[in-house]
Amino acid sequence: MEWERFDWLIEAALREDAAGEDATTGALVAEDREAEAEVRSGGIGVVCGLPLAGRVATRFDARIRFEECVRDGDRVSAGTVVARLGGPAASILAVERTMLNFLKKLSGTATLTACFVEKVKGTQARIYDTRKTTPGWRELEKYAVRCGGGCNHRMNLADEALIKDNHLALMAQEGAGDPVRRAVDRVRAARPGLKVEVEVESLSQLEEALAAQPDVIMLDNMTPEQVREAVALVARKCGDGGRPELEASGEITLENVAQYARAGVDRISIGALTHSAPAFPLSLDIGG
């Protein structure tokens, strides 16, 4: 990761918190006071964002020393020291919350991803994220998914074509003929070599999509049993070769993800990885 590319976000976060105008610390801590501090894990999970956290600290005050004690993607337990800081005490206290906000959010995404990945072990299914990301944070959150052992779906609208129900509704209004096939053919003519995915919500739509020969078919909002039927249908239609990848999506949780994986899909995409991951517990403590 080119962490300097996120300096704009760091600067915005520091301004938002008025880190240079800390009223409490300014009144209580002398400017020449030095301190040492540790960032500790408050639970079991996967750490992510340490290089960014260090950059937050040193962008605020270049005199702060930041040492990573573990690496991004490492699994930690409660009490693990993940980073150490040294330098002006006032600066460490002023930057504490902004630094931890980045670290807790990204570690939360990595940890939730790792939980999903663990649930599908022993199957062929891989866990994917979506574009349901925090505006401005997409690259960071997708990096966190990778740190948790997951895979990235398209980064943006230009990376891959995903033909959804609204696209097909507009195609159907244009005239006769199979809208799915026309949509796939039109995308491939406009963007040769681009991966094409089609979203379906029923077995009849799946058959239409198979005839159009996209690279990936998304089985949207189907139950595990419906997904199992879809996988069997594709096996009958395509045999051993030339079948598209199958992706399950919609209403997938830690409680049911293993059922979807055992149904035989290749990919499981989960928006919750980035839009609903709880913050991972981390705290900063000044040494005695």
The 8 Å CB, 24+ separation contacts for 264-267 are 264/124, 264/227, 264/228, 264/231, 265/125, 265/219, 265/227, 265/231, 266/124, 266/125, 266/126, 267/125, 267/126, 267/128, 267/151, 267/216
Residue 16 is which amino acid?
A: E
Catalytic residue among 97, 154, 181, 243: 97
Copy the structure tokens of residue 165.
Answer: 């129900």
52 sits in which H/E element: helix 50-60
Task: Identify whether 5 is a catalytic site residue.
Answer: no
Please state, in angstroms and rounded to a whole number, the distance separating the CA atoms of residues 246 and 102. Answer: 34
65 half-sphere exposure, CB direction, 13 A CA radius: 10
**Exposed / middle / buried, residue 21 (Cβ in 10 Å: 0-12, 13-18, 19+):** exposed
Task: Identify whether 132 is a catalytic site residue.
Answer: yes
Catalytic residue among 96, 197, 199, 266: 199
Please state, in angstroms and rounded to a whole number, the distance separating the CA atoms of residues 42 and 276. Answer: 19
> Strand 45-46 and strand 81-88: pairing?
unpaired
Task: Identify whether 199 is a catalytic site residue.
Answer: yes
Catalytic residue among 96, 197, 220, 247: 220
Sheet strands (E) in the chain = 34-41, 45-46, 65-68, 75-76, 81-88, 126-128, 161-163, 196-200, 216-220, 245-249, 267-269, 282-286
Residue 88: helix, strand or coil by DSSP?
strand
Catalytic residue among 75, 132, 146, 228: 132
Catalytic residue among 138, 164, 188, 243: 164
Positions annotated as catalytic residues are 97, 132, 164, 199, 220
